[in-house]
Amino acid sequence: MPLKNDLLVRAARCQPVERTPVWMMRQAGRYLPEYRAVRKDLPFLTLCKAVDLAVEVSLQPLRILGVDAVIMFSDILIPVEAMGLEVQLTEKIGPKMPHPVRSAADVEALRVPDPVETMPFVYDIIRTLKREIADAVPLLGFAGAPWTLAAYMIEGGSSKNYHIIKSLMYSEPAIFHRLMEKLADTQALYLKAQIEAGIDALQLFDSWAGELSPEDFATFALPYIQRVFEQVGSAVPRILYVNGSTHLLEGMAASGAEVLSIDWRTDLAEAVRRTQGRVALQGNLDPCRLLGPREGILRGVEDIRAKAKDAPGHIMNLGHGILPPTPVENAQTFIAAAQGRL
């Protein structure tokens, strides 16, 4: 069945659209009272694996905000757990790996799992969402990029300066590259199975690769993004998000992605110039704009629209995930303004 609203897919393919499509990273989240009601005291990983509940929170932004795409509710570290590394996830503390990867033996102990066998709930969520959405809008799948996943696995959680992963990267490059190969192959299989389950587009999140210099990005991160995208293929549009990516745009444009998702620190008109019409762009309102007055949100949307006018394709989004304190009416204002309803 063709999508009733295929604006995002067409914009991602740099095809003509009647208006700019819009969705938000982390659009299923704590800013919504309906999400908090479902979540209650439920552990985060439990919510990710509870098919009916994950479907419900995935659909809430469509019902409440009228977004142009639904993204499945999950977490980028789900495949890491399937590789054999213990993962602990709490929203207030963040991810923890009690046994971080620090040696060749640690890397060799990790498996490249069969995603359908080890993470069947992910594909049950996708298939259920496709039935519930009934092709009203596209369904987005996603995965974490290898460098960001490696950062969590080696650091043992979040980090301020990423000195442990960079130390291993520089001092033991063979061990590091072997880990990245396993991660890339795992993510490729994970995403290919998402496509087979029915997603209409996908986003690869490289949240922490902005911590790398352009040279290190080209050596230690980009080849593995390319490896993922090459194995996944172009059956659905591929979006690449890198937080803090102003200095990495040229490398990102060589990744194989059809769309680059840009954080708010990067001027979108500059991104259009530097990527030379090679890719569509996504973004890039500062999420903190949604904590301010309505007039600022409207002005921000119009500013982004003007700066994206020469992009071959544009998807409106935030420059990072929506923040938990965001008033729901401000999120609604952003979506409505982007869709030209205000």
- Among residues 6, 10, 31, 75, the one annotated as catalytic is 75
The H-assigned helical ranges of the chain are: 7-12, 33-39, 44-49, 51-65, 78-82, 104-109, 115-118, 120-133, 146-155, 163-171, 173-197, 214-216, 222-232, 249-253, 268-275, 294-307, 328-338
Euclidean distance between CA atoms 115 and 132, whole angstroms: 23
What is the value of pTM for the model shown?
A: 0.97
Distances (CA, A) of 137 to 201, 221, 247, 264: 11, 32, 33, 26
Backbone phi, then psi, for 35, in 5-degree steps?
-65, -45
- Among residues 13, 26, 238, 289, the one annotated as catalytic is 26
Distances (CA, A) of 340 to 5, 27, 66, 139, 264: 15, 19, 12, 22, 21
Nearest C-alpha neighbor of 125 from the set 205, 204, 200, 56: 56
Residue type, 329: E
With a CB cutoff of 8 Å and minimum separation 6, the contacts of 151 are: 159, 162, 165, 208, 211
For residue 177, what is the DSSP state? H
- Among residues 31, 35, 152, 190, the one annotated as catalytic is 152
pLDDT of residue 98: 95
Distances (CA, A) of 196 to 81, 125, 142, 193: 22, 13, 13, 5
Q: Is 224 a catalytic residue?
A: no
Intervals of the chain under pLDDT 70 = 91
User: Is residue 316 classed exposed, middle or buried when 0-12, 13-18 and 19+ CB atoms within 10 A define those classes?
Assistant: buried
pLDDT of residue 26: 97
Q: Is 267 a catalytic residue?
A: no
Residue type, 90: T
Q: Is 52 a catalytic residue?
A: no
How many C-beta neighbours within 10 Å does residue 223 have?
A: 16
- Among residues 39, 227, 238, 289, the one annotated as catalytic is 39
Parallel/antiparallel/unpaired status of strands 139-144 and 70-71? parallel
Residue type, 297: I
pLDDT of residue 52: 98
Binding residues for substrate, as ranges, are: 26-30, 75, 152, 207, 320
Q: Is 68 a catalytic residue?
A: no
Euclidean distance between CA atoms 90 and 143, whole angstroms: 19
Binding residues, as ranges, are: 26-30, 75, 152, 207, 320
CA 249 to chain centre: 17
pLDDT of residue 183: 98
pLDDT of residue 91: 67
Q: Is 241 a catalytic residue?
A: no
Euclidean distance between CA atoms 287 and 256, whole angstroms: 27
Euclidean distance between CA atoms 93 and 265, whole angstroms: 26
